[in-house]
Structure 1
Amino acid sequence: MAKQSNLAKQASLPDFMYNVGDRIGLLKRVLKTLGNPDKRFKIIHICGTNGKGSTATMIAAILHQLNYQVGAFTSPFIGTMYNSIQRNFADISKSEFNDEMRQIRQVMARPAFRNETLSEFEAQFIVAMLFFADHPVDYVVLECGLGGELDATNAVSDTMYSVFTEIGLDHLGILGDTVTEIATTKSKIIRPGNTTITASHQRSEVFQILKSQAATKQATFISADTVQLTATQGAHLKRVINFQSTIEGRIQGQFMFGLPGTYQLQNLQTVLTWLNDFVAKVKIPCQHLDENLTAALSQLVVPGRFERISTRPTIFLDGGHNPDGVKAFVTSVNELYRSRPKIIINGFLKDKEYQSAVKSLLTLKNASFIVTEPQNQKRELDAVKLSQVYQQLTDKPIQIFESPIDALKEAIYRTHKFNDGPIIFVIGSFYLLNPIRSYILTKGVDFHEN
C-alpha cells in the first residue's frame, strides 16, 4: 500500500479526487461557507504544462519588489507541503496551516456537507485562500495543479489575469488524449473580462484555442511576442537581458537575470508581457523598473527548475518530467555545458511519456546515466523497466539503484575518477528531486563519499 503524505495522514484525506463528481461546485460551496476568502485579493492565475512554477515565482518576486503584499500557491511542492503556500516568500507555518485546517474541518462537519470530503490538494488550496485572507495580501499568484477546467484552483470567484505557459502533452487520459483536448481543458480558466496572456511559443492549435476562448469570455488577449528580448551570457550563469514592449505600456530597459535554464527566457518573456500590462493598469512609474527587475530576478532561485544545489561537485536538479520539459532541459544543458562530462540521474513516473523523454536525454553529449525510482509507491516507474528503454536505444547496460540517495552517492563517487569535473544532473519527477534535494540540504555533499 502506498504511503500517505503528511497532509493525508493528518486530515484523513484522499490524495486524488480529480473529476470525481462536481468538485468545483463543492469547492465553491466550501469557499462561500467560509465567507469567500478568495474575494479579498486579486488573483493572477497561472496555467500550462511546463514553466508554471517558474513563471509564478517570477511574477511574485516582481510584485514583492514593487512593495505589494504577495501570496503564492504553487505545486507540486519541493521540500514539504508548507513550501507551497507562501506570503512574501515566507512559508506558512505548521501552526498556521493547522489553524486553517480546523476551520475547514468544522465546515465539512456541517450537515450540508454530509458524505462529502475534500482531497488533499483541494484542502491545501482552501487553506491557502484562508491564509491569504487572514494574513492580508494585495495579490495572489495562483498556480494550477493538475489541469484547468476541473482543477481545484478554478473554484475561485474571479481572476485579474489568466497567464498560460507552454501547453503540451501531460496527464494523458485525464486532461485529454491530444494537445487540442488538453489545451481546451486548460483554456477554461479564462474568466469573463479578465486579461489573458499566452507564451509566444505555443503550438498553433493551442494559440487558436486560447484566443477563441478569450474572445468568448470577452477577455483581453495578449501574446508574449509583443515583448522582444535579447540575452547575453554573463558570469555565474547570469544573463544580461535587454527588453522592449511593442504595445501599450511600452516597458523597456536592461537588467540582470539569474535563472540559468535556457527555457527560462521563454518564461521571462511571458512575465514581462504580464508586467507591461500590469504597470499600465495600475499606473506604476517605470523610471526605476530596471533596478526593480534586477533586484527581483538576479538572485532568484526556483527550486527544482535547473537549480544548482551544490558546487563541489556541481549538481543541478530539474523537474522535467514530460517530453517538452525534458527537451527544454537538454537544450539548456547543451547550451551551457555541451563539452563537459555529465552524469545523469534519471527517474520518471509510470504514467508519463517516458520513452520519448529518454530519447531526448540520449542526445546529450559526453553523458553517462544512472536510473532510479521516484518516491511514489503508487506511480513510480520501476527502475528495471526504465533501464530497459535505455538499453533498447543504446544497446548498453545501465546502472540501476532503487534508492535515489544510493544513485546520488554513486554519481558523487564517479566524479572522483575524472580530472575535468563531471556535472551531476538529476532530471525527472519531483518525487525524485525531493528526496535528493532534502538529503543534500540536510546532510550536505561529501565529495569523497562512496
Structure 2
Amino acid sequence: MITFNDLKYSLYDSDDRIPFLQKLLHQLGNPDCDYKIIHTAGTNGKTSTSTMIAEILSHNGYNVGLFTSPFVIDQGEAIRINGKKISSTEIDHYYSQVATLITDTLHLDLLKSISKFEMILLIALLYFSDHKVDYVVLECGLGGKTDATNAILTSEYEIFTHIALDHTDELGNTLEQIATNKAAIIRENSQVIVAPKQNACVKTILSKQAQAKNASIYFAETHANQTKIDFTAEYQYDNLATVLQFFTVFDNGKIKVDDCLAVIRNFDLIGRFQQVHQAPPIIIDCAHNLDGISQFVKTVQDKYQDYHKIIITGFLKDKKPLQCSDCLAQLKADFIVTQPDNDDRKYNLETLYQHMQANSKIANVSLQQDSVMAFQTALQRSNSQTVIFVVGSFYLARPILRYIKTNL
C-alpha cells in the first residue's frame, strides 16, 4: 500500500493543479465551505502571523483550525485545532479517505496524481469540517495563484505578510511577478490586510487586485501598543502590527488590542528565533531565504553583539545559498557548514564551504556533513560566553531539534 511518505514532495512544476484539486474537494463534499477562511500569503512571516491570529481567536471563544507549512518536527504541526495537533491516527484516517477517492472512484495512479503537500491540505480541510470549526487560518505553501490552498472556493479575509524575492523559479524573477502571483488569492468582496514595510510596487499590485475584486484593503503600520511586547526577534513586531490591523477589521473590531496583546505575551513558535536551551543558549531560526536571513542578522547584531557566536548553517539549492552566506558573513562568528535533510533540494556542501572560506569577513569556518554531528561539534566548542545559532532551513533545524529533545 502506498503510504503518505511515498507521495512526492511537490507537483508545482506540473500544469495548473487548482482545477484537479477543486474536483477532489467537490467529490469530498466541499469541506472548505463549512467554515470561514482567513487566507495568508507572503514570503516571510506567514506562520507567525497565522499562529498569532489563531491563538487570539481561540482565546476569545472561537473554535479555530490552523494550517501551516512546512512542519519543523512532525507532520501533525501542520494541522491544529485550538493549538492541539492532529494525531497520526487521524492523519491515516483522512489519508485513506482521499486515497480511496483517487484510486477507486477516479481510477488514477495515486503517486502520479497528488503531492504530499496537496494530500496534507485535503486532510486538513476534511479534519476541520468534521470538527466543526468556526474559522480556519489557512497558510499558502508556495505563491498564491497556483498554490494548492487556492483551490478553496471562498475566503473572508486575505492577509499578506512581507513579500520579497523567493521561489523565483516558480513564481517569477521580479518582485512584481511574485506579488502578482500572491495577489491572486484575493476573493470577491473580501477584506485584505497587508503587512507594513512593503515595497511600493507590492502595495500597488495588491491594491489593484483588491479593487478588481471589490475587496476592502487595509495597510498595517507600526502600532504604538506593540512596545508592550518584548520579542527577541525584531521581525515579529511587523507580524504583530499585521495581526493588530487584522483585529481592527475582524468583526468590526470586536476583539480589542489589549485582548490581543494579553495572548501574544505568551507567544512562542517552534523554529522562529526560538531559544530551545539555556546553557549554552541555543537559538533555532528557520530563516531560509535572503529576506529572512537579513532579518536574522539584524536581530543577532542587536541582541548578541558581545557574545561568542557559533552559527551552524546550510541551505537548499533554490534559496540563493551563496548570497545568504554572504549576508551571514556580516556577523562576527565561528561558522559550521552542514547539510539540510533534503536530498532532492540539497546544495553542494563543498561549494558552499569553499565560498565561505574565501570570504575575507569570515575568520573561522569548518565543514561537517551530518547536521547532528555539526551540532555536537558546536557544543564541544562552546564556553560560558557562547550562543549557538542554527539557521538556514527547516530541514536543517528538524534533525537538530529532534536531537535536542532526546538528549539535552
TM-score of the alignment, normalized to the shorter chain, above 0.5: yes
* Alpha-carbon distance in 2 for matches of 1:64, 1:340: 39
Quote the residue 2:325 is aligned against.
Answer: 358
Question: Identity over the aligned pairs, expressed in percent?
Answer: 40
> How far is 1:392 from its partner?
2.0
> How far is 1:285 from its partner?
6.1
Quote the residue 1:207 is aligned against.
Answer: 203
Of 68, 78, 86, 2:62 maps to 68
> How far is 1:294 from its partner?
3.9
* Alpha-carbon distance in 2 for matches of 1:386, 1:304: 23
Closer, same or farther in 2 for the Cα pair 1:412/1:189, shift >3 Å?
Answer: same
* Alpha-carbon distance in 2 for matches of 1:343, 1:12: 36
Of 254, 260, 264, 1:297 maps to 264
Quote the residue 2:391 is aligned against.
Answer: 427
> How far is 1:21 from its partner?
2.3
Of 214, 225, 240, 1:218 maps to 214
Q: Does 1:284 align with 2:250?
A: no
Q: Does 1:341 align with 2:311?
A: no
Q: Does 1:308 align with 2:278?
A: no
Q: Does 1:261 align with 2:225?
A: no
1:314-329 to structure 2, matched below 5 A, reads: 314-329=281-296
Letter in 2 for 1:167: I
1:393-408 to structure 2, matched below 5 A, reads: 393-394=359-360, 396=363, 398-408=365-375
Contact 1:43 1:159 in 2 (8 A): yes
Contact 2:276 2:283 in 1 (8 A): yes
What is the CA deviation profile of residues 310-348 of structure 1, one whole-angstrom value per residue up to 9, with x for unaligned ones? Answer: 111100001111111000011111111122221111110
* Alpha-carbon distance in 2 for matches of 1:277, 1:112: 42
> How far is 1:14 from its partner?
2.1
> How far is 1:442 from its partner?
1.9
Quote the residue 1:92 is aligned against.
Answer: 86
Contact 1:259 1:300 in 2 (8 A): no
> How far is 1:230 from its partner?
5.6
1:157-236 to structure 2, matched below 5 A, reads: 157-225=153-221, 228-229=223-224, 231-232=226-227
**Divergent runs of 4+, >3 A:** 7-12, 110-116
Closer, same or farther in 2 for the Cα pair 1:169/1:76, shift >3 Å?
Answer: same
Quote the residue 2:38 is aligned against.
Answer: 44
Quote the residue 1:237 is aligned against.
Answer: none
| Runs of 5+ consecutive residues of structure 2 not aligned to the other structure | none
Aligned length: 405
SS in 1 for 2:169: coil
Contact 2:247 2:255 in 1 (8 A): no
SS in 2 for 1:174: helix
> How far is 1:353 from its partner?
1.1
Q: Does 1:132 align with 2:99?
A: no
Contact 1:65 1:295 in 2 (8 A): no
SS in 2 for 1:385: helix
Of 233, 241, 244, 1:272 maps to 244
Of 23, 27, 30, 1:29 maps to 23
| Runs of 5+ consecutive residues of structure 1 not aligned to the other structure | 1-6, 233-239, 241-256, 445-450
Of 368, 383, 389, 2:349 maps to 383
Of 325, 337, 340, 1:371 maps to 337
Contact 2:226 2:241 in 1 (8 A): no
Quote the residue 1:438 is aligned against.
Answer: 402
What is the CA deviation profile of residues 413-449 of structure 1, one whole-angstrom value per residue up to 9, with x for unaligned ones? Answer: 1113xx4x211111111000011111111221xxxxx
Letter in 2 for 1:48: G
* Alpha-carbon distance in 1 for matches of 2:2, 2:281: 35
What is the CA deviation profile of residues 69-105 of structure 1, one whole-angstrom value per residue up to 9, with x for unaligned ones? Answer: 1100000101111111011111100111111112112
Quote the residue 1:248 is aligned against.
Answer: none
